[in-house]
Amino acid sequence: MRLFVFLFASVILTGIIQGKTTVVCPDCPVNNFMRAAFIAAPHDTIIVKSGTYPSINSIITKPMTIIGENYPVIDGRGRDEVILVYSDSVTISGLHVRNSNRGSMKDYAGIRVFQSKQVSILNCKLENVFFGIYLSDSKQVLVKGNHSKGANYGKSDTGNGIHLWKCDSVTVLDNYMEGHRDGIYFEFAKHCHIEKNLAEKNYRYGLHFMFSDDDTYVNNTFRNNGTGVAVMYTKRVNMFNNVFENNWGDAAYGLLLKDIGNSVIEGNVFRNNTIGVTMEGSSRMRFENNDFTRNGYGLRIWANCTQDTFVHNNFSGNTFDASTNGQLQQNIFNYNYWDKYTGYDLDRDKIGDIPYKPVSLYSMLIEQMPYAVMLLRSFMVDLLDKAEKNIPSITPEAFEDKFPLMNMIKR
Amino acid sequence: MIRTENLEKSFGKLHVLKGVSTSFEAGQVVSVIGPNGSGKTTLIKCILGMVVADKGSIFFDGKNIGRDFQYRNNIGYMPQIGRYPANMKIGQLFSMMKDLRKAVTNTDNELIKEYALEAMFDKPMHTLSGGTTQKVSAALAFLFNPKVLILDEPTAGLDPLASEILKAKILKAKEEGRLVIITSHIMSEVEEMADKILYLFEGSINFYKTVSELKTETGEERLGKAIAKIMKERMHV
Amino acid sequence: MFKIAKYVVYDILRSKVLIAYTVFLLGISLSLFSLEEDASKSIVSLMSVVMIIVPLVSIVFSTTYFYNAYEFIELLVAQPLSRTTILLGKFTGVAFSMLTAFFIGVGVPVLIYSPNATGFVLLQSGIGLSLVFISLAFFSSVATRDKAKGIGLSLMLWFFFSVIYDAIILGVLFAFSDYPLEKAVIALASLNPIDLGRIMILMKLDISALMGFTGAVYKKFFGTGFGFFYTTGIMLLWIVVPQLVSLRIFRKKNL
């Protein structure tokens, strides 16, 4: 990553040194942004002073640097797309891009990057755009410090904040996405690094990816999105220290893992979600040092998940720690803390002497008869659960933590 | 003063009162007697409104009592076994009863004095002996100067001295023109105080006569014997 | 009426059972709040206490009291007081005493440690359930003649509402699981005061879990202003109706 930054920096520097600089302002000889981008020679620098400039499909076909000062407004006037990058080695920074067209015919974008390499989109503001930043068929792109607010049209009529299709080695850093369909959307985007982004109040997912292997997600926050974060059909994903919180609603979850394999989920916080993590057909996953706090369900793991390992996680304040939809259970739970554990620790090794069964009879009943959720926390349900704990008959017997910790792991 | 018309009362299958029609006049002591289970207490409780009759009516001063409760302002009641809130002290009991009947200003504290109850005002009810409880019951019955006194086995459990005090009080009430209704098993006592005897048998009035009538009719000097004689005659008829 | 209530309260406040109940509730509340650093978790545990212990103690204590104070009632009935006044006075007195115990035992700790919406709803349910079960206790007291039967009936009512009723709901759900049952379940649950009290708290507490799946339906119904008035209204009916029935019986009761 550092290497990329160095490369990008040197590209910018060479641009400034080698090319000539054009200043665009409302009273300058060049007062048209579209024209400035068109006439610039390779490796030129365009400095855009504050003002409002119409920009309908401004096409950048040469390597260049565009620097906005005091966020000049680049206005697409709702006609088509706003800025299109069709060249390698382009840097765009400090622009306020707004008013792309919208609709179902085409994925109109605020800034589109197509078949390019070594492009940087830095510190731009995007407003009232269908898609924010749209990268396709591109490599080695840096998207950093941007702030994108989707056009407020509702779920069906909004595009994604940062959208990647068939990309490689893209770094997405320090961005903010709000009011889009998906905050960040990846399809066939490999070897990417996603760090310190905040996606909130998006209509569907904070983060949504498919077929995007070998990506790493660090220190991101996905909060209060329509249905949380959904990731599918992908291998070798690393998710470290992210926060998934406040995703409430019918079938909402912190994180949905569908057909994910060989991935590591570590140090994340799942807090106040209807379901903390829901897993379908996901195998050889490692969950370590995560906190599942105050979710409706901490973990919902389908019976088709195998060889997953859960170690050193904290489960506290969840209505149900875990639930599953079948008798089969082929995953390993060890050394987790469960606040509902009522066992004892006679040998004082801080590990409970009897196993903990996170799946209650009642949570299994709800799977069968969803309306029974009405009986939650009733005396009768408590009695049933207690009876089932002692004589398991319906809950999967193998679903247990053999070494439940007595105390919550301090982070 | 009090008139009952055709009072009927059953407890389940047990037919306790079978059409009791009678009246009680002021300035008299009426003794209601009869064997156990003859309906004495039920009759009294009907008059008090503690038991609701199945059929028939009760008139107090010419007014049908129906669902009314105000007429009870004129009745003082002494139960056979006085039972009171256990934690309450005697003094509190008296002040509570006064509090509940705020309308009455001049209370009759004679029995409280004569039974020296004031000295025990700090004693909780549950520590009292049966006799003392009866003294409290008696004092409560007379407390509000009622026109009618209904006393259920008043001297049972009282020591002779206390009994005498109560008897004197009853006679005094009669002199004052009040109506006193007593149930009692002790014939000598009945003889001492009663003007009229109401004999209940299996829920019906067997006879209702003055003491002197009874004695002349039977030619017996003692009331107990007189009553026994009447009963025998009736059985043979 | 309030005069009678005053003497009832005076009588009850010195009873050891009520003091024990207060101390018990206070002990549980304080230990739950002090053992758990997360107050919302303490509320969850406290909720089970409120849903089970409070109705149980309310109904058994009130029935026992009614029978133990039978002589007091006899005394009052012979006085110039209407039976309605006597019974309502008794009810007011018992209710005031029980609510005082609940307020000291649960109310004060909740107000100190968790003075939020969930806490208030917990108190509201607790107060509602106390009143409902005192009302039911009066019903079983006037409907039976001796103490053992009265307490037996009370215990049965409690057991019915806290366990059997829910088992019936579960049975219905199981039998008709192929049908859309949300309306039926709402109707069934709202006919049981304990379920109603529980749901009121759930709406605040387990909002995230309830939102999932069919929970959303319930949330839509009970979570709204209408739902609030509905639950409060049904709770009031549960207090008023048994009391009215008790009055009807008591007016004709032979003492």
CB contact under 8 A, C15 and B100: no
Residues of B in contact with C75 (CB under 8 A): 83-84
Determine contact, residues B74/B147, Cβ cutoff 8 Å.
Answer: yes
B68-122 per-position pLDDT tens digit: 888 998 999 998 888 887 778 899 889 888 888 876 678 888 899 999 999 999 9
Determine contact, residues A409/A354, Cβ cutoff 8 Å.
Answer: no
Q: What's the CA gap between A192 and A172, in Å, rounded?
A: 8
Return the residue in B87, B90, B142 with the most chain C beta carbons within 10 A, the one to mutate for interface testing. B87
CB contact under 8 A, B85 and C11: yes
What confidence score (pLDDT) does residue A157 get? 73
C255 to chain B, closest Cα gap in Å: 5
CB contact under 8 A, A251 and C212: yes
Crossing angle of the two packed helices C117-143 and C193-205, in degrees rounded to 10: 180
Return the residue in C7, C79, C253 with the most chain B beta carbons within 10 A, the one to mutate for interface testing. C79
Of B84, B87, B97, the CB nearest to C71: B84
Q: What is the DSSP letter of B145?
A: -
Of C52, C198, C211, the CB nearest to A274: C211
Chains that touch B (3 or more CB pairs under 8 A): C
Instruction: Please say if the pLDDT value at position C223 is more than 80.
Output: no
Q: Which of residues 95-114 of B touch C (CB under 8 A)?
A: 96-97, 99-101
Confidence band (pLDDT; 50, 70, 90) for A299? Answer: very high
Determine contact, residues A320/A296, Cβ cutoff 8 Å.
Answer: yes
HEC readout, chain A: CHHHHHHHHHHHHHHHHHCCEEEECCCCCCCCHHHHHHHCCCCEEEEECCCEEECCCEEECCCEEEEECCCCEEECCCCCCCEEECCCCEEEECCEEECCCCCCCCCCEEEEEECCECCEEECCEEEEECEEEEEECCECCEEECCEEEECCCCHHHCCCCEEEEEEECCEEECCEEECCCEEEEEEEEECCEEECCEEECCCCEEEEEECCCCCEEECCEEECCCCEEEEEEEECCEEECCEEECCCCCCCCCEEEEEEECCEEECCEEECCCEEEEEECCECCEEECCEEECCCEEEEECCCCEEEEEECCEEECCCEEEECCCCCCEEEEECCEECCCCCCCCCCCCECCCCECCECHHHHHHHHCHHHHHHCCCHHHHHHHHHHHHCCCCCCCCCCECCCECCCCCC
CB contact under 8 A, B100 and C81: yes
Best CA proximity match to A212, nearest among A159, A172, A267: A172
Averaged over C85-112, what is the pLDDT? 94
Q: What is the DSSP letter of B108?
A: -
What confidence score (pLDDT) does residue C208 get? 57
Instruction: Please say if the pLDDT value at position B216 is more than 90.
Output: no
What confidence score (pLDDT) does residue C134 get? 96
What confidence score (pLDDT) does residue C250 get? 92
Which stretch of DSSP H or E encloses residue B127? none
Q: What's the CA gap between B225 and B135, in Å, rounded?
A: 31
What confidence score (pLDDT) does residue C225 get? 82
What number of C-beta contacts closer than 8 Å exist between B and C? 67
What confidence score (pLDDT) does residue A351 get? 95
Q: What is the DSSP letter of B124?
A: B
Residue B36 in domain: yes
C134-147 per-position pLDDT tens digit: 999 999 999 998 89
C83 to chain A, closest Cα gap in Å: 37
Say how many C-beta atoms besides its own lie within 10 A of residue A149's C-beta. Answer: 19
Best CA proximity match to C198, nearest among C173, C231, C236: C231
Mean pLDDT of chain C: 88
CB contact under 8 A, B77 and C78: yes
Angstrom distances, CA of residue A296 to CA of A249, A305, A401: 11, 21, 20
**Domains, chain A:** 1-226 (2.160.20.10)
Give the three-class secondary structure for C131.
Answer: helix
Query: What is the share, in percent, of chain A residues with pLDDT greater than 90?
Result: 74
C224 to chain B, closest Cα gap in Å: 45
Q: What's the CA gap between A373 and A395, in Å, rounded?
A: 17
Mean pLDDT of chain A: 91
CB contact under 8 A, C71 and B97: no
Q: Does C49 touch chain A (CB under 8 A)?
A: no
B219 to chain C, closest Cα gap in Å: 40
Residue B179 in domain: yes
Angstrom distances, CA of residue A123 to CA of A128, A301, B103: 17, 40, 88
Say how many C-beta atoms besides its own lie within 10 A of residue A120's C-beta. Answer: 25
Best CA proximity match to C70, nearest among B48, B81, B102, B94: B81
B188 to chain C, closest Cα gap in Å: 28
A294 to chain C, closest Cα gap in Å: 9
Domain interval for residue C220: 2-252
What six digits make up the tokens of A190? 């490999």
Averaged over A198-213, what is the pLDDT? 94
Residue C35 identity: L
Q: Does B156 touch chain C (CB under 8 A)?
A: no
Q: What's the CA gap between A83 and A109, in Å, rounded?
A: 8
- Residue B162: which CATH number? 3.40.50.300
Largest CA distance in chain A: 85
CB contact under 8 A, A371 and C207: no
What confidence score (pLDDT) does residue B173 get? 92
Q: What's the CA gap between C182 and A144, in Å, rounded?
A: 48
CB contact under 8 A, C202 and A372: no
Residue B212 in domain: yes
Residues of C in contact with B48 (CB under 8 A): 77-78
Phi, psi of B122 (to 5 degrees): -90, 0
Weakest-pLDDT range from B123-127, C136-140, C219-223: C219-223
A260-276 per-position pLDDT tens digit: 999 999 999 999 998 99
Q: Does A411 touch chain C (CB under 8 A)?
A: no
| Interface ipTM | 0.83
- Cα B89 to chain centroid distance, Å, stands at 25
Say how many C-beta atoms besides its own lie within 10 A of residue A105's C-beta. Answer: 7
Of A252, A373, A381, the CB nearest to C210: A373
Whether chain B lies against chain A with 3 or more Cβ pairs closer than 8 A is no
Instruction: Please say if the pLDDT value at position C103 is more than 90.
Output: yes
Domain total in chain C = 1
Residue B160 buriedness (CB in 10 A; 0-12 / 13-18 / 19+): exposed
Confidence band (pLDDT; 50, 70, 90) for A376? Answer: confident
Q: Does C216 touch chain A (CB under 8 A)?
A: yes
What confidence score (pLDDT) does residue A10 get? 59
C154-183 per-position pLDDT tens digit: 999 999 999 999 999 988 888 887 888 878
What confidence score (pLDDT) does residue A223 get? 95
Domain interval for residue B37: 2-81+146-236
Residues of B in contact with C4 (CB under 8 A): 100
Averaged over A148-171, what is the pLDDT? 86
Domain total in chain B = 1
CB contact under 8 A, C173 and A274: no
CB contact under 8 A, B50 and C80: no
Of B50, B71, B73, the CB nearest to C255: B50
Say how many C-beta atoms besides its own lie within 10 A of residue B175's C-beta. Answer: 9
Q: Does C157 touch chain A (CB under 8 A)?
A: no
Instruction: Please say if the pLDDT value at position C126 is more than 90.
Output: yes
What confidence score (pLDDT) does residue B36 get? 83
List of residues 6+ apart from C244 with CB closer than 8 A: none
CB contact under 8 A, C74 and B50: yes
What confidence score (pLDDT) does residue A215 get? 96
Q: Does A338 touch chain C (CB under 8 A)?
A: no
What confidence score (pLDDT) does residue C209 get? 61
A218-241 per-position pLDDT tens digit: 999 999 998 899 999 999 999 999
What confidence score (pLDDT) does residue C180 get? 80
CB contact under 8 A, A370 and C199: no
Crossing angle of the two packed helices C39-68 and C83-102, in degrees rounded to 10: 150
Which stretch of DSSP H or E encloses residue B158? none
Confidence band (pLDDT; 50, 70, 90) for C236? Answer: very high
Instruction: Please say if the pLDDT value at position A15 is more than 70.
Output: no
Q: What's the CA gap between B215 and B232, in Å, rounded?
A: 15
Confidence band (pLDDT; 50, 70, 90) for A14? Answer: low
Q: Does C199 touch chain A (CB under 8 A)?
A: yes
B110 to chain C, closest Cα gap in Å: 20
Q: Does C212 touch chain A (CB under 8 A)?
A: yes
CB contact under 8 A, A378 and C213: no
Phi, psi of A108 (to 5 degrees): -65, 135
Confidence band (pLDDT; 50, 70, 90) for A104? Answer: confident
Residues of B in contact with C14 (CB under 8 A): 87
Weakest-pLDDT range from A149-163, B51-65, C200-214: C200-214
What confidence score (pLDDT) does residue A13 get? 58
Residue C82 buriedness (CB in 10 A; 0-12 / 13-18 / 19+): middle
CB contact under 8 A, C166 and A378: yes
C130 to chain A, closest Cα gap in Å: 17
What confidence score (pLDDT) does residue C61 get? 94
Of B69, B83, B86, the CB nearest to C81: B69
The residue of chain C nearest to residue A368, with distances taken between CA atoms, is C177
What confidence score (pLDDT) does residue A12 get? 58
Determine contact, residues A293/A321, Cβ cutoff 8 Å.
Answer: no
Residue B116 in domain: no
Q: What's the CA gap between A327 and A329, in Å, rounded?
A: 6
Q: Does A254 touch chain C (CB under 8 A)?
A: no
Q: Does B51 touch chain C (CB under 8 A)?
A: yes
Determine contact, residues A366/C173, Cβ cutoff 8 Å.
Answer: no
What confidence score (pLDDT) does residue B237 get? 56
Q: Does A370 touch chain C (CB under 8 A)?
A: yes
Say how many C-beta atoms besides its own lie within 10 A of residue C252's C-beta. Answer: 11
CB contact under 8 A, A379 and C189: no
C239 to chain B, closest Cα gap in Å: 25
Q: What's the CA gap between B54 and B11, in Å, rounded?
A: 10
CB contact under 8 A, B88 and C11: yes
CB contact under 8 A, A383 and C211: no
Q: Does B14 touch chain C (CB under 8 A)?
A: no
